[in-house]
Structure 1
Amino acid sequence: MTRHVLVTGAASGIGAGVCELYAAEGTAVTAVDRRAAGPRSIVADLADAEAAERVVERAWQAYGPVDVVVNAAGIYPATPFLEMTAAQWDRVQHVNVRAPMLITATFGRACAAAGRTGAVVNIASGAALRARPGAAHYCTSKAALEMLTKAAAIELGPIGVRVNAVSPGFVTVDSAANPVTEEYAAAVSANALGRRGVPGDVARAVRWLAGEEAGWVTGTVLRVDGGASAGSTALPLHWNGTSEVQRA
């Protein structure tokens, strides 16, 4: 039987990459975004709590039971901290944290009612570990999403729903909703493997976490970042000579 995967933020970037990977393998995909993103689309603004709560129900009724949810929708506007308004802060939290919580909870209830197992993969970010100027709302939302992943995994595990997250490093995407300058991209994309990520790098990690091979994995955050979270490649050697200890 063909699996049914629901992907939010599906019109571009990582979400689109996830949709493309699954579709290429013959998996049934329902794409959720603020604009139509394929033949099986649900148009919804996930900042709206009611819209987020209904996404799984709409997909389930229209296209059949959902097996996997990928919460890839996210926004990262640039807003200096001293200029942050409540509305700007709240919209980022609503899209990046509240929507995944509502969608995951709805999915869990649907699976429990139908006696089905399932998997959720949230798209986190290296920003959960390292703050950056203009992104207090975004970094906070991704840190919260990582904890949401763990909390949901604990409560949904007994009903057979696994919840994990992929935390990408900088990924090159063409997104009108979340544009970045080349200067910014160059500053945040340094990593041990020496190249920027592409959506397919993240999509393959999502597929693994949602698949049978990761059947005993839940509540984890898989960092797919070329080694960026392991440490900095931008620093010089702290000592350019041979110490007494080394000579000994």
Structure 2
Amino acid sequence: MAAFTTPPRAPMSARLSASHVLVTGAARGIGRAVAEEYARGWGEQDRSSPDGGTPTLVLTLVDRDAEPLTRTADELRERYGVRVTAQVLDLSETVAPAAAVTAAWETDGPLDVLVNAAGAYPSIDMLDVTAADWDRLFALNTRAPVLATAELGRRAIEAGRAASVVNISSGAALRSRPGGGPYAATKAALEMATRAAALELGPHGIRVNAVSPGFVPVDSDVNPVASEYAEIVSRNPLGRPGSPADIARAVRWIAGPEAEWITGEVLRVDGGSNAGAAHLPRLGPAPSWP
């Protein structure tokens, strides 16, 4: 029997030396943390190039809120010396997701990584949800990532390039909460869309995965989280809520070369919450077996 040999891999510095990353929802919260994780990582890596060139990192940041987006872009440029382009777009609009990818590709070159972090999580009871609520939420949380991924896929395939997509899902995709039904539905749909895209785009060298955060406190002008809720859901096996940086590190890893044989997966970064409910009481005393 012939021995199996692993194909050679390029050195890490060569594989990470140049990239273009697009992050949606980048003005604050998890999206901003993802952008900063890439900028920080670029600043820490060995950027020497065998051909004498100067490798670069280009960040394209997309958000609907101009002021915090501009502030984020300016801070990343100043702190890490990276090239940053900001796009002010409402991704719930039909043409906006594809337009974001198109503008990034044509302005700053081919995209290597797309991180779909934009989203909203309003509290809406199922008895009160309207058609407008439902459609708006799905447009932003599900349709926008799908359309952005499709546009990236078309361009990458035409150019003969590999690429990586990471969608930000939620533990709500597996279990809802009072007032969280519409939001949970968008994330459940996003996880299936992630698998479907991975199946179809994988043969072209395009990986599509999702990262599912547990409870991560972030600033939200749509649905601030009550302190009582935060206290309850923070009771996970690791004993603390997550941070945007926790999620950002997972995003960068699964999008990067160390995860090159992973696609169609949902990486749950939740402090162990998905393992069970540690805060519930025991059912009863230990059994006394005969």
TM-score (norm 1): 0.96
Instruction: Name the structure 2 match of 1:90.
Output: 135
Once residues 107 and 23 of structure 2 are traced to their aligned partners in structure 1, the CA distance between those partners, rounded to angstroms, is 15
> Map of 1:221-236 to 2, 5 A cutoff?
221-236=266-281
Measured after TM superposition, the shift of residue 186 of structure 1 is 1.9
Once residues 223 and 39 of structure 2 are traced to their aligned partners in structure 1, the CA distance between those partners, rounded to angstroms, is 24
SS in 2 for 1:202: helix
TM-score (norm 2): 0.82
> Map of 1:123-202 to 2, 5 A cutoff?
123-202=168-247
Once residues 233 and 30 of structure 2 are traced to their aligned partners in structure 1, the CA distance between those partners, rounded to angstroms, is 17
Once residues 174 and 134 of structure 1 are traced to their aligned partners in structure 2, the CA distance between those partners, rounded to angstroms, is 19
Measured after TM superposition, the shift of residue 188 of structure 1 is 2.4
Instruction: Name the structure 2 match of 1:12.
Output: 28
Instruction: Name the structure 1 match of 2:164.
Output: 119
Whether 2:87 is the aligned partner of 1:71: answer no
Measured after TM superposition, the shift of residue 169 of structure 1 is 0.3
Instruction: Name the structure 2 match of 1:34.
Output: 64
SS in 2 for 1:40: strand
AA of the residue aligned to 2:38: Y
AA of the residue aligned to 2:196: A
**CA-to-partner distance for each residue in 1:183-215, whole Å, 9 max, x for gaps?**
222232321100000001111110111100100
Measured after TM superposition, the shift of residue 159 of structure 1 is 0.7
Once residues 28 and 179 of structure 1 are traced to their aligned partners in structure 2, the CA distance between those partners, rounded to angstroms, is 32
AA of the residue aligned to 1:22: Y
**CA-to-partner distance for each residue in 1:63-92, whole Å, 9 max, x for gaps?**
111100000011011111111100001111
Once residues 18 and 67 of structure 1 are traced to their aligned partners in structure 2, the CA distance between those partners, rounded to angstroms, is 15
Once residues 177 and 81 of structure 1 are traced to their aligned partners in structure 2, the CA distance between those partners, rounded to angstroms, is 18
Measured after TM superposition, the shift of residue 225 of structure 1 is 0.2
Alpha carbons 1:171, 1:197 under 8 Å: kept:
yes
SS in 1 for 2:196: helix
AA of the residue aligned to 1:208: W
- Point out 4+ residue stretches in structure 1 off by more than 4 angstroms: none
Instruction: Name the structure 1 match of 2:4.
Output: none
Once residues 85 and 206 of structure 1 are traced to their aligned partners in structure 2, the CA distance between those partners, rounded to angstroms, is 33
1:22 to 38, 47, 68: 38
Once residues 65 and 107 of structure 2 are traced to their aligned partners in structure 1, the CA distance between those partners, rounded to angstroms, is 18
Q: Which moved more, 1:212-221 or 1:181-190?
A: 181-190
AA of the residue aligned to 1:28: V
* Structure 2 unmatched ranges of 5 or more: 1-16, 43-56, 74-83
AA of the residue aligned to 1:17: A
Instruction: Name the structure 1 match of 2:19.
Output: 3
Once residues 251 and 230 of structure 2 are traced to their aligned partners in structure 1, the CA distance between those partners, rounded to angstroms, is 23
- Superposed CA RMSD: 1.2
Alpha carbons 2:64, 2:89 under 8 Å: kept:
yes
Measured after TM superposition, the shift of residue 25 of structure 1 is 2.1
Q: Which has the larger radius of gyration?
A: 2
> Map of 1:43-58 to 2, 5 A cutoff?
43-58=88-103
Alpha carbons 2:123, 2:223 under 8 Å: kept:
no
- Identity of paired residues, percent? 56
Instruction: Name the structure 1 match of 2:287.
Output: 243
Q: How many residue pairs end up in the alignment?
A: 245
Once residues 244 and 134 of structure 1 are traced to their aligned partners in structure 2, the CA distance between those partners, rounded to angstroms, is 42
AA of the residue aligned to 1:10: A
AA of the residue aligned to 2:261: W
* Structure 1 unmatched ranges of 5 or more: none
Measured after TM superposition, the shift of residue 52 of structure 1 is 1.3
Instruction: Name the structure 2 match of 1:107.
Output: 152
